[in-house]
Amino acid sequence: MIQTETLAPPPTHPSPSPLRWWRRLHEETLGGAIFAPRPFLANVLLALLPEGTLSVLRTGVYRHVWGIRVGSGAVIMGRLAFASAHLAAQNVQIGSRAVLNARVFIDAAAPVNIGDGASIGHDALLITTDHAIGLPEFRAAERFEKPVTVGAGAWIAAGAKILPGRTVGAGAVVAAGAVVTKDVAENTLVAGVPARKVRDL
């Protein structure tokens, strides 16, 4: 006679309720802001607008639907990418006559002030968050935020990166692809990685 081993049924664990799952997910997101209706609605509308066209309408969506402070005469040429999007209305200010090209990335975890008449090229990054260097097991340790300021009339060219806590002075130019690790004086041209002064303007 062949003996068969009877296996105990696998232990059953109560499946977490949807409310419990939602609460945990909510707690693990930045500040518990998992769903912000205004940015959600704005993104739905912005997805319908092709890049490079309908700039007045797009700018109006950012101003009136999202709630971002956008000055008169400002032009937004394409969708902006936000980190901490739920804080954009509180922390981002775009001055009058400023021009933002397509795919500009704005980290809204800390204040970002873009001055009157400033120009931001496509694929530029304005970054406000950084991390302390931690132990070998986890180098990106404690996170912190510092504001970014782009002065009036300044030009941040395509693909340039402005790191946390930096100020680009009024009338300054940051060349394409440059990485700004120190403040840029007014009316100067900087270029390179890291960005260095090329000349006065």
Asked whether the beta carbons of 86 and 36 are under 8 A apart, the reply is: yes
In this predicted structure, the answer to whether residue 158 has a pLDDT above a threshold of 70 is yes
Across 63-89, average pLDDT = 92
Mean pLDDT, the chain, whole residue set: 86
Show me where the domains of the chain are located.
Answer: 33-200
Asked whether the beta carbons of 88 and 125 are under 8 A apart, the reply is: no
Question: How do residues 125-157 score in pLDDT, each as one tens digit?
Answer: 999 999 899 888 888 888 899 999 999 999 999
pTM value? 0.80
Query: CA dist 59 to 66, 86, 99, 128, 149, Å?
Result: 10, 18, 10, 23, 20
Across 56-74, average pLDDT = 92
DSSP string, 35-69: --HHHHHHHHHHTTSPTTS-HHHHHHIIIIII--E
User: Cα-atom radius of gyration of the chain, to the nearest Å?
Assistant: 23
d(CA 132, CA 34): 25
Across 31-44, average pLDDT = 73
Element (H, E) at 130: strand 129-133
Own/partner contacts of 38-43, CB < 8 Å, gap of 24 or more, are: 38/65, 38/66, 38/67, 38/89, 39/66, 39/82, 39/85, 39/86, 39/88, 41/65, 42/66
Q: Which residue has the higher pLDDT, 125 or 19?
A: 125
In this predicted structure, the answer to whether residue 113 has a pLDDT above a threshold of 50 is yes
- What is the structure's pLDDT at 177? 97
Residue with tokens 């120190």: 182
Phi and psi at 134, nearest 5°, equal -100, -160
- What is the structure's pLDDT at 32? 47
50-54, 88-92, 129-133, 139-143: the lowest-pLDDT one:
50-54
pLDDT tier for residue 9 given thresholds of 50, 70 and 90: low
Q: Please state which CATH number belongs to domain 33-200.
A: 2.160.10.10
- What is the structure's pLDDT at 6? 53
Q: No. of H helices and E strands in the chain?
A: 4, 19
User: Which residues are designated catalytic?
Assistant: 131
